[in-house]
Amino acid sequence: MELQRLSHYLFSISFIVIASIASFTIAAIPWQCAPGQFDLNTLYPDLVRNHVDHIINNTAIGEGSDGRVYIKAHGPTLQVVKRFFPETSPLRQALQECSIHAEYWLGHSISHPSLARSYSLGHVNGKWEMAMEFIPFPLLDLLDYDAWAERRWSWEAISCVFLQILDGITHLHLYGFSHRDIKVENIMVDRDGTVKIIDFGSASPLRDFLTGRKLLSWENKVGTPITMPPEAEEEEFYDLEKGDVWALGVVLVRLWLGVYPWEEAMLQDDAFAEYVKEREKIEDCADDVDSLICSLPRVAEYVGGMLETTPAKRITMDNIQSSVLTGAKTLIRFKVAAESATTHSPVGILNHSRYEVQWGVNDDVLSYLMDSPIA
């Protein structure tokens, strides 16, 4: 009997020791971007937030230039509610309403694992309110936490995160929209590790839905200066797809180096001016060359293509998709088919050789374009 008790005691001690070692090992490594294989609540316990007080007291968890963000319980799940600041003049109210409807319909109608969903939109107590998918972890928080803990991300993890962002933006482009504000601050990560893009408030159509021709922006200064392309300052109209490609390049640099390369892509910015000079004089990366592109040895060619200052020479989304970034065997790729095979809209299926696939507009997107009331 005593021997049996001793055996149970030793087994319990061994289990506790093994569990402690496993817990320490998990805590000692950063998230390696494997959607569905890790629980980020376990990997980042210090970043887990208790939202009970916010829900009970109806207090905001964040604030932007156009509204405050709240958390609300929706059955057994949580939702994020964005309450927009009301505008005063009739003109500004009309413009705000158009912008809010556009943001809502993009998140509601275009489905992709890496695009955050919006659920409902209403006018409550004189303010517009939009209910959206709750995503617990800002990517910036994960990056900053691991930098503080001196836990460097692997190349595979960085590539995996970037690939999910790229897949989401490609899907958005497939439906004829440019995000126009791609930055690390607009990337969230779900508890299971799925990367999701948020904030479609700056998004714009990049193609004519009837002809498939590209639309050029007449409103250039949209988004955030740090990821805005240089042509936004110089050209009267510019290619929105190429603008998103530039922003993706800046985001990849931020993921790899841990800092943004410049504050804005203008020659008045010393860091950007230095980058422009580097591009003019560097033909290939030698070991002794200290430059932005050469500090990214595994992706120098592709970052250089994305951050090409001349838009006409800039790499395309197709080129990025077929690059080494998406060819690594270690990456996890979402298999998302374009939801355009069946549609009941009068637009029908349009052939667009740019993507060499057939794409169309579903009923929800069409109803938004025709300013139909929200169902």
Domain co-membership, 126 together with 166:
no
- The number of distinct structural domains making up the chain is 2
Domain co-membership, 170 together with 319:
yes
- Does a structural domain hold residue 2? no
Beta bridge partners of 79: 72, 133
Mean pLDDT in the chain? 77
Q: Given 133, 161, 187, which residue is the final one in a domain?
A: 133
Q: Is the pLDDT of residue 283 over 70?
A: no
d(CA 229, CA 227): 6
| Structural tokens at position 214 | 């590209």
CATH of the domain at 103: 3.30.200.20
Q: Which helix (H) or strand (E) holds 343?
A: none
Q: Is the pLDDT of residue 56 over 90?
A: no
- Does a structural domain hold residue 366? no
**Could you tell me which of 74, 83, 29, 36 has the C-alpha nearest to residue 55?**
74
Domain co-membership, 203 together with 321:
yes
pLDDT of residue 8: 56
Domain co-membership, 150 together with 206:
yes
Residue 106, CA distances (Å) to 118, 127, 174 in order:
8, 20, 13
Residue 330, CA distances (Å) to 112, 298, 318, 326, 327 in order:
21, 15, 21, 10, 9
Sheet holding 62-63, edge to edge: 62-63, 67-74, 77-84, 127-133, 118-124
d(CA 77, CA 359): 34
Place of tokens 């929105």: 240
Q: Is the pTM of this model over 0.85?
A: no
Q: Given 106, 133, 160, which residue is the final one in a domain?
A: 133
pLDDT of residue 289: 60
Structure confidence at residue 373 as a pLDDT band (50, 70, 90): very low
| Structural tokens at position 293 | 């592109």
Domain containing 168 equals 137-327
Place of tokens 């714009």: 204
Domain co-membership, 105 together with 188:
no
* 219-226 mean pLDDT: 82
Q: How many CA atoms lie within 13 A of 106 on its CB side?
A: 28
Q: Given 79, 98, 133, which residue is the final one in a domain?
A: 133
Q: Is the pLDDT of residue 236 over 80?
A: no
Residue 67, CA distances (Å) to 63, 83, 89, 122, 323 in order:
6, 5, 17, 14, 39
Domain co-membership, 144 together with 126:
no
Span of 53-57, 95-99, 146-150, 306-310 with lowest mean pLDDT: 53-57
Q: Are 111 and 196 in contact (CB under 8 A)?
A: no
